[in-house]
Amino acid sequence: MSDLPKSVSLREVGPRDGLQNELPVPTDAKVRLLDMLSQTGLKRIEAVSFVHPRAIPQMADADEVWSQAKHVDGIRYSALVPNLKGTERALAAGFRELEIVVSASDTHNRKNINRSTAESLADIEAVAARVHEAGATLEVIISTSFGCPYEGEIPVSRVLDVATHAVRSGADRLAFGDTTGVGTPSRVAALVDGVRSAHPDVPVLMHFHNTRGTALANLLTAMQHGITEFDASVGGLGGCPYAPGASGNVATEEVVHMLEDMGIDTGVDLDALLEVAAYAQEIVGHELPSGVLKAGPRTRTVAA
Amino acid sequence: MSDLPKSVSLREVGPRDGLQNELPVPTDAKVRLLDMLSQTGLKRIEAVSFVHPRAIPQMADADEVWSQAKHVDGIRYSALVPNLKGTERALAAGFRELEIVVSASDTHNRKNINRSTAESLADIEAVAARVHEAGATLEVIISTSFGCPYEGEIPVSRVLDVATHAVRSGADRLAFGDTTGVGTPSRVAALVDGVRSAHPDVPVLMHFHNTRGTALANLLTAMQHGITEFDASVGGLGGCPYAPGASGNVATEEVVHMLEDMGIDTGVDLDALLEVAAYAQEIVGHELPSGVLKAGPRTRTVAA
């Protein structure tokens, strides 16, 4: 197959995005999950979020989790922040890669963080200034980039407008989230082409959900259109608690399994990752949606 | 996106391949499932198989099912046959499109139908002769085309050898099955390119499983390499009872949902299909794996 990258950069989001959408798990389980992930070959891990404990009780122990977890050299750990207060906490905790979310859909933004998209973009400008002052970087994650559970269609032009505002507000990187798994390959191609044309020098990451089975087809399409950075969640942990019907971050092991078989280097040890997925399933106490976790990798044969 | 077809031809395999891998359901439920499918816009339906009831008790009532189901003009109904005896039953029942399976993996073929691949290919020659004598057509389905649960890797050259033998034995059409869901896009591209090069005039259909999340990525790749015929199973019914870890024919509604959103015509009414998927789930009595059945189509929004 032509036009495919030789390697991709995966960011593991299970410890934050994943666990944020599960019932709270004990601090030591979060630490162990992080430590196990740090041994798989993953080079980027979204570790925690510094949100208000009343809003997201699952992340109330972010400081303890991060102070107890091993920080492995060569791994880029990141934290999600909702505002300036969270930014101060993340910077004080030592994070140098921060992320902040804005929704391309005004209705979803209001439901998610109780303000309009325009208000969020104004907040982002202040957060970016503080982050840069501290010598750190800020990624703006644009959620509902492929459609909104409330508004339905979100035109590519709207998503690109939000992206351009985010870059002007100081975003060092952009991420586009398929928050409720409504993306399809043609939508991915259109958005990726638009973003790369409008912001050729800004690193772009895609965050796909597998809610309707399209995650790996979307990821393949994004690669064919030049994207080499993807989020994925071990075991398929998590989703979005404010988005009805949103289940299923694409499972990291499904991504690694497909890409490595295609000769695209992820740097990840699939067997080690599957052990982490089994552990993730154990701590949340219910079956996770990952097919590779259930069925095993393609190389696992049985006696005839 | 370039290089995509304007339309695809889907064959619904839930009534046969799907139900064959579930606990037996009543005859009237099978008839109703077929009749509902015949009203969705699907133009090809694999209706039943004429196998020995001791081997596959789920299909013991194939004659009754087929005689009671409505035969809608313009729909191509097909039947699976294992041998000459089944062929006579299928022809007597009025089928004009028959299918027969051979595995690219010798071990899988022995486990599945208790003979070597070479023996199966010899049987196929006799079946094809009888089918053609009756003025009907025969499709040869080559299972384990992307790997075998017992042998592991199956080289493309081996699959192509079996395909060429099948064509020489009288196959009018070829289908390639990812029996245990081990296919990935690069493997699909390699096999499709090889088959189209070796047999440019033979219609080719791909049968994907979603066991490890790759079904729609594989389908997208197959389309990009010129394939326009696919199997799918309503709700994601079925798999292969003889293949450990094999779950998940790709769900017809996941295929229709993605393709129609991409502007690729399937001819299928998604809402009608989702009603059939809900009925399929009801008659088998357990949750089916279809994400579109669970979450609804992307166009279904909720009140803010």
Judging contacts by C-beta atoms under 8 Å, the chain A residues touching residue B304 are 107, 110-111, 150
Distance from CA of A87 to the nearest CA of B (A): 29
Q: What average pLDDT does the segment A1-9 reach?
A: 92
Within-domain flag for A55? yes
pLDDT at B239: 53
Within-domain flag for B146? yes
DSSP structure string for B41-71: T-SEEEEEE---TTT-GGGTTHHHHHHHS--
Q: Tell me if chain B has a CB within 8 Å of the CB of A295.
A: yes
Closest of A98, A101, A163, A103 to residue A130, by C-alpha: A98
Number of domains in chain A: 1
pLDDT at B243: 46
Distance from CA of A192 to the nearest CA of B (A): 12
Per-residue pLDDT for A45 more than 50? yes
Measured in whole angstroms, the distance separating CA B18 from the mean position of its chain's CA atoms is 9
**Average predicted confidence (pLDDT) for chain B:** 94
Judging contacts by C-beta atoms under 8 Å, the chain A residues touching residue B250 are 213
pLDDT at A244: 46
Judging contacts by C-beta atoms under 8 Å, the chain B residues touching residue A257 are 184, 212
Per this entry, what is the length of chain B?
Answer: 304
Intervals of chain B under pLDDT 70: 239-247
Inter-chain touch A214–B258, beta carbons under 8 Å: yes
What are the tokens at A4? 């495919």
Q: A110, A101 in Cβ contact below 8 A?
A: no
Within-domain flag for B196? yes
What are the tokens at A298? 């393609």
Distance from CA of A252 to the nearest CA of B (A): 11
Q: Catalogue the active-site residues of B.
A: 240
Instruction: Please name the residue of chain A whose CA is at the shortest distance from the CA of residue B182.
Output: A298
Q: What average pLDDT does the segment A254-277 reach?
A: 98
Cα–Cα distance measured from residue A94 to residue A74, given in angstroms and rounded to the nearest whole number: 15
Within-domain flag for B230? yes
Q: Where are the alpha helices (DSSP H) in B104-251?
A: 106-113, 117-133, 156-168, 185-198, 215-224
Distance from CA of A67 to the nearest CA of B (A): 36
Host H or E run for residue A27: helix A27-37
Within-domain flag for B2? no
Q: How confident is the model at residue A191 (pLDDT cuts 50, 70, 90)?
A: very high
A·B CB contacts under 8 A: 148
Inter-chain touch A220–B185, beta carbons under 8 Å: yes
Judging contacts by C-beta atoms under 8 Å, the chain A residues touching residue B148 are 301
Q: What average pLDDT does the segment A4-32 reach?
A: 96
Q: What values do phi and psi take at B198, rounded to 5? A: -75, -35
Within-domain flag for B3? no
Listed in sequence order, the residues at least 6 apart from A197 whose beta carbon sits closer than 8 Å to its beta carbon are: none
**Average predicted confidence (pLDDT) for chain A:** 94
Q: Which residue range(s) make up the domain with A35?
A: 9-295
Cα–Cα distance measured from residue A186 to residue A220, given in angstroms and rounded to the nearest whole number: 11
Residues 209-248 in A contacting B (C-alpha not used; CB under 8 Å): 210-217, 219-221, 244-245, 247-248
Q: Answer with the residue of higher pLDDT: A114 or B159.
A: B159
pLDDT at A113: 86
Q: Tell me if chain A has a CB within 8 Å of the CB of B155.
A: no
A157: helix, coil or strand? Answer: helix
pLDDT at A247: 60
Q: Answer with the residue of higher pLDDT: B260 or A2.
A: B260
Q: What is the CATH number of the domain that holds A187?
A: 3.20.20.70
Q: A61, A21 in Cβ contact below 8 A?
A: no
Within-domain flag for A4? no
Per this entry, what is the length of chain A?
Answer: 304
pLDDT tens per residue across span A269-302: 999 999 999 999 999 988 888 999 989 999 999 8
Q: Tell me if chain A has a CB within 8 Å of the CB of B298.
A: yes
% of chain A with per-residue pLDDT over 90 = 88
Residue with tokens 């229709």: B256
Cα–Cα distance measured from residue B254 to residue B233, given in angstroms and rounded to the nearest whole number: 10
Q: What average pLDDT does the segment A65-90 reach?
A: 97
Q: What average pLDDT does the segment A204-225 reach?
A: 97
pLDDT at B247: 60
pLDDT tens per residue across span A140-168: 999 999 999 999 999 999 999 999 999 99
Within-domain flag for B301? no
pLDDT at B76: 98
Q: What angle do CA B97, B101, B104 make, to 5 degrees?
A: 140
pLDDT at A239: 53
- Residue B263: which of A186, A211, A292 has the nearest Cβ? A186
Per-residue pLDDT for A266 more than 90? yes
Cα–Cα distance measured from residue B148 to residue B163, given in angstroms and rounded to the nearest whole number: 16
Inter-chain touch B181–A251, beta carbons under 8 Å: no
